[in-house]
Structure 1
Amino acid sequence: MKDKIILKVETAGTRVDAYLASCLKEYSRGYFQRLIDMGHVLVNSQKTASSCRLKEGDEIEIIIVNKENKIKPENIPLEIVYEDKDIIVVNKRPGLVVHPACGHPEGTLVNALAGHFKGKFVPYLVHRLDKDTSGVMVVAKNEKVKASLVKQFQNRTISKEYIAAVGGNVSENEGRIEAPLGRSHQDRRKIVVGPLAKKMAITEFKVLSRHSGYTVVAAHPITGRTHQIRSHFAFIGHPVLGDETYGGPLKIGEKSFERQFLHAHKLSFTHPSKAKKVEFSAKLPKDMAWLSKKH
């Protein structure tokens, strides 16, 4: 029996075998060393060695062999936008972690999907949303569909639209933010624009409405960098409301914001098996619903 687990590395510098043993305590370090030797552990889609030192943000894919399924199926409510034999599209609620990692091995979107699939499918993630970002996500049900969707993301043929409320008055009706991003050396949680940043990032936006203290925008990330929209709008002086990490306002008037007001609104791509363009949208969650009345 083979099952797949995907982990996102949160602590840099640890050997891959030691990291896996610390995250998945039901298995021994020796067991993971054997899996690595068998080629059943990939780091960023590449085969690895037990001595490999991990970097923050690395993705580890583990094929568990001859063990019970360790992605615990859980009865977690899902808002399903669309589902067929190849894909499932969901509206992720804010506060839900997407995939298991050290510190939160359960209670994730992957656990919820495993519970929903009841063993018939394995959830194959092709993109992610931050814990406190809500909205539309597509998940593949098999390797072939995953490969097709990953290629579309890599080729930037997938279109994404986010709704965000940002601090201050954005003067331009529409614009394009083109600035390289990299991890901050002062605060490793942050992705920032800086002279040492090497990954170019592009975000296009359109103002939907302006209000006292904030602006509602539709943002279209052309590239798909970590924290791209959050970092880019902070860079131009308009951080997302509630985004404490990037200096966003936590309160305007009588309204308080307990998480970043960023929602993945629309996602369009070519359906892998139907070979036609499809578009899915996700309604705003309750804490952001009042924004829809403002534009």
Structure 2
Amino acid sequence: MAIYTCGHTTPDSDSICSAISLAYLLNKIGREAIPARQGEPNPETKFILEKFGFEAPLLKTQFAGEELFITDYSDKGQAPADIDESTVVGIVDHHKLGDITTSAPLECWIRPVGCTNTIVKEMYDYHGVEIPADIAGIMMCAILSDTVIFKSPTCTDIDIKVVRELAEICGVEDFGALGMEMFKVKSQVEGVSARDLILRDYKPFDMHGNQVGIGQLEVVDLAIFDSIKDDLESDLEDLRVEHNLHTACLLLTDIMKEGSEVIVASADNSIFENAFDVQLEDGKVWLDGCLSRKKQIIPFLEPAFA
């Protein structure tokens, strides 16, 4: 039986690229694997795949009766709806340990680094498998994306070392320039609906029994949101009500200014305000230096619900 490698719902570049890179590795060590995705690639991911000659992985949202190697998450809220009917044979991830459980032992590669593909690179090294240039290219780009070209507080020396090694393999001399090109693609919002923007990089969480959704848009200039910010605020509240969420947040992250304006729709704004010791103004606040949902939002917001 083939193993499906697949990342979280609303996939980002790391989720899709790690599914591809992990599947290649598994096949090389004699474990038949097929990369998959749970949703449509975002513009940045499409750019990365096209640049290095890849098609998007198989779209698959049902895994009952299948073997599944999870990439880039371990929270059940980001898993396929039928995950309990699948056999999870492994997890490779760089986030907090989530609530997925299994009935049998499994392979786990969970490390506090900036990107899942950094860990996959360590898996290649462990198994002594050579990385092809095209695989190295998408892995490198995923790390540049997740670490915000090394600016994110989640970035480690290991991520930087791995990017340099992958850049040499794929023949990219100026990976910083490629990273900026990626983020310019990521900044394109013209003609995209408010809901699609909110869900472009969106993750659901269960915080002490409260359902919370957090989206993030990383751009090179927040001014691109000036004409659509009201629509984003309105639709974020609509999303909260439709999905019966306690709180929905959208981080508008300016990678040049190195901070985020956070739009908050909540049944109780004081939860967010107390978590970050801030006062929301018209449901918004600027958090200087905030680039990471994983490290600078979730660890503070989740305890506030306890």
TM-score (norm 1): 0.26
Q: Report which of the two has the higher share of helix.
A: 2
Larger Rg: 1
Which structure shows the higher strand fraction? 1
TM-score normalised by L of structure 2: 0.26
